[in-house]
Amino acid sequence: MHRNKALGQPSSQFQIDAAGWAVGAQHVPSPNFDARAEGTEIALLVIHNISLPPSQFGGPYIADLFLNKLDYDADPYFDQLRPLRVSAHFLIRRDGTVLQFVSAHDRAWHAGVSSFCGQERCNDFSIGIELEGTDFDAFADAQYTALAALTVALKAAYPLMHVTGHEDIAPGRKTDPGPFFDWAEYQARYRVQQKQANIGEAAPDLAFRLM
């Protein structure tokens, strides 16, 4: 645990606390969530990408969207976002900084109309992680490092069984994280960090991107 780290600074280690918040991430609570149904098993991790405006990185707009504070007049693209009320559990910025908007115990509004292995409404049983990026650009090394570390922590806290992309649970409607997301790199880094953390050996391991 790194409780002495400044919030918002990139961290290579995370721990999920009793309330479902990640120590090591910046906590920015969103109003866009609701409770999961009692007894729901959180079994799926969904990887997304997002940039606002499209293909522009580093601004406040992603967080503002998840907080219902977006200035819709700041860019012409934002006008179409006015009716949206969305969120993800986590956002990983290009420098590896991790922001958390919704407790992993709760249901964030990230997947929309979706289905995984015949089970619909993926928001009900999944955790959503947004990577700041696009379908047309390589993701940053720091993002893979943070994503792997966060995945290890989430796997230690929840009965996660599968990791997949938004494009896989909403085919034809969504395309993220897209062709530039390196699934093999993500999985390899997860395995290394899982071994270093010495957790997960007694539980079934994650299956990556089951189609």
Dihedral, CA atoms, 154, 100, 188, 54, nearest 10 degrees? 150
Determine which of 4-13, 29-38, 144-153 has the lowest per-residue pLDDT on average: 4-13
CA–CA distances in Å: residue 6 to residues 2, 25, 202: 9, 9, 33
pLDDT digits (tens, 9 = 90+) for 86-126: 999 999 999 999 999 999 999 999 999 999 999 999 999 99
> CA 154, 49, 123: angle at the middle one, nearest 5?
55
The predicted model gives 63-91 an average pLDDT of 98
Which pLDDT belongs to residue 4?
A: 29
Domain assignment of residue 149, yes or no: yes
CATH of residue 164: 3.40.80.10
Look at residue 172 and tell me if it is in a domain. yes
The total domain count for the chain is 1
Q: Is residue 58 part of a domain?
A: no
Residue 16 lies in a domain: no
**Does residue 150 form part of some domain?**
yes
Is residue 157 one of the residues assigned to a domain?
Answer: yes
25-64: burial string, b at 16+ Cβ within 10 Å, e else:
bbeeebebbeebeeeeebbbbbbbbbbbeeeeeeeebbbb
Looking at every residue in the chain, the average pLDDT score rounds to: 91
- pLDDT score for 150: 98
* Structure tokens that stand for 5 in this block: 């780290």
Kindly report, residue by residue over 150-202, the tens digit of the pLDDT: 999 999 999 999 999 999 999 999 999 999 999 999 999 999 999 888 765 55
User: Which residues are marked as active site?
Assistant: 130
* pLDDT recorded at residue 204: 66
CA distance 68 to 32: 8
C-alpha to C-alpha distance for 150 and 144, rounded to whole angstroms: 10
Residue 142 has pLDDT above 80, yes or no: yes
Q: Which residue shows structure tokens 């989430």?
A: 154
Task: Identify whether 96 is part of a domain.
Answer: yes
> With 70 as the cut, is the pLDDT of residue 7 above it?
no
Range of the domain at 91: 39-50+87-208
What global pTM score does this model have?
Answer: 0.91
190 lies in some domain: yes
Has residue 9 got a pLDDT over 80?
no
pLDDT of residue 8: 36
Residue 49's pLDDT band (boundaries 50, 70, 90)?
very high
CA-to-CA separations, 113 to 57, 78, 154, 170, 172, in angstroms, rounded: 27, 22, 24, 7, 11
